[in-house]
Amino acid sequence: MTTITSATKQISASSQTIFDFLSDFNNLQSLMPSKVVNWSSTMTTCAFTIDGMAHLNMAFGKNVPNEKIVMISEGKNPFSYDLNVYITSLEADHSEVYLVFNADMNAMLAMMAKKPLQNFVDILVERLQERYQ
């Protein structure tokens, strides 16, 4: 199992605001890096391509309101994975957020994908922080 963790960012929003925003895949597109193409989404699923890497399909797993959002691989994917968003309330309108991407891929693929996936999760959390400045 390959695990990639983003930087932890302080967000100027309540944990509920962040949870509500990220609990709709239609909102997630605004956080995606430029290398993400062919985006399609509903409120509960999304599919996209990381340019030069892979086409991914996701759905929500078992979310914990205002604390954790679980996105899981669904349908046809090159490997099994999950993307977890951890939200910690600091004050009424401040939270801490980080992402953890877990992937079940072979060693060769993991070696090639680690840097782009690290960049992917870091950009997502940075753009979330920028959204609520």
User: Contact, 119 vs 4, CB < 8 A?
Assistant: no
- pLDDT tens, residue order, the chain (133 aa): 999 999 999 999 999 999 999 999 999 999 998 889 999 999 999 999 988 777 899 999 999 999 999 999 999 988 999 999 999 999 999 999 999 999 999 999 889 889 988 999 999 999 999 999 8
Is 133 contained in some domain? no
Structurally, how many domains does the chain consist of? Answer: 1
Whether the predicted model's global pTM rises above the 0.85 cut: yes
Domain that holds residue 36: 2-128
Q: CATH code at 122? A: 3.30.530.20
**Which stretches of the chain are assigned E, i.e. beta strand?**
2-5, 9-11, 36-41, 45-50, 54-60, 68-73, 80-91, 94-104
Is 83 contained in some domain? yes
Structure tokens belonging to residue 102? 């877990």
- CA 125 centroid distance within chain: 8
CA distance 133 to 114: 29
